[in-house]
Amino acid sequence: MQMVIFGLTVTSSWGNGHATLWRGLIRALARRGWSITFFERDTPYYAGTRDVDHLDGGNIVLYPDWEDIRRVAEQTIKRSDVVIVTSYCPDAVDASRLAQQAGRGLRVFYDLDTPVTLARIEQGERPPYFGPEGLADFDLVLSYTGGSAVDALKAVLGARHVVPLYGHVDPDQHRPATPRAEFKADLSYLGTYAPDRQAAVENLLVRPAARLADQRFIIGGAQYPQEFPWSDNIFFVRHLPPADHPAFFSSSRLTLNVTREAMAQKGWCPSGRLFEAAACGAPIVTDTWPG
């Protein structure tokens, strides 16, 4: 069985939650006999932070521009049993149209950012990863979010058949690990900086750190601004490759999970990091949301 995926990235986990999810899914599908090709636009910000250069059971096609690989993409689509296009794929619209024209198998859209998608539409903005036809031309739409979002994708974007495919974890990669001194902390937090998470991070980590000067706190993630309210007992790891996640989660007494605002408002949208921490046996402090 052949599958082709047009996605944001599978080679770099820097600043996104897509790559780690795809690696686990592709590894699991390969065990079931699937052969998978992942098309990823070669962007500078991911090129400098790549932590994977091959896939177990899959192939990676890095390309500089859509027109450079359009013919290769068309041939790959023609021989594939399943074509998947994802949210935030830089060439999602072109890939979707090519899938409709050349695809012989199941045509799938996987929205890994459903709450953001719906929030942008509510604000009068069309996300750049689908055209004016919305999702009506896909045989199946997978949603990272369940609950009311499933009906919203049908009502707002014309999706015909929607099934939740929630965040998940690869148990072969995420499991209890030997603690490491550089990650030792009383409270840890692993997450890309996001303005809509900042208030919760300050309430649940920064302020406790200010009150508990004798305890150690650690943050791992990307895109943290210089003006972030650091203190002497908050330590920082700029980019933590997925291979180090188990040791990170296993080295602190507690780990913090903070959900993006749009995800928390929609509910039914647990983050991948929540599953990772749980699989590593870490005690979790988290915000709450419906579902």
Per-residue pLDDT of the chain (291 residues), as tens digits, is 999 999 999 999 998 999 999 999 999 999 999 999 999 999 999 999 999 999 988 899 999 999 999 999 999 999 999 999 999 999 999 999 999 999 999 999 999 999 999 999 999 999 999 999 999 999 999 999 999 999 999 999 999 999 999 999 999 999 999 999 999 999 999 999 999 999 999 999 999 999 999 999 999 998 999 999 999 999 999 889 999 999 999 999 999 999 999 999 999 999 889 999 999 999 999 999 998
Compute the distance between CA of residue 149 and CA of residue 21 in angstroms, rounded to an integer.
20
- Give the Cα separation of 264 and 87 in Å (integer): 19
What count of Cα atoms within 13 Å lies in the side-chain half-sphere of residue 1?
13
Q: In whole angstroms, what separates CA 67 from the centre of its chain?
A: 26
Residue 110 has a CB neighbour count (10 Å cut-off) of: 24
Out of 3.40.50.620, 1.10.287.3510, 3.40.50.2000, 3.40.710.10, select the CATH number for domain 181-286.
Answer: 3.40.50.2000
Domain boundaries 2-164, corresponding CATH code = 3.40.50.2000
CB–CB of 85/61 below 8 Å? Answer: no
DSSP 231-275: -TTEEEES---GGGHHHHHHTEEEEEE---HHHHHH-S---HHHH
Residues of the chain with CATH 3.40.50.2000: 2-164, 181-286
pTM of the model: 0.92
How far CA 259 is from CA of 107, 192, 252, 263, in Å, comes to 30, 11, 20, 6
* Positive or negative: CA dihedral 149, 155, 157, 161: positive
- Residue 120 exposed, middle or buried by CB count within 10 Å (0-12, 13-18, 19+): middle
- CA terminus-to-terminus distance, the chain: 35
Q: Which tokens hold the place of 230? A: 């650091």
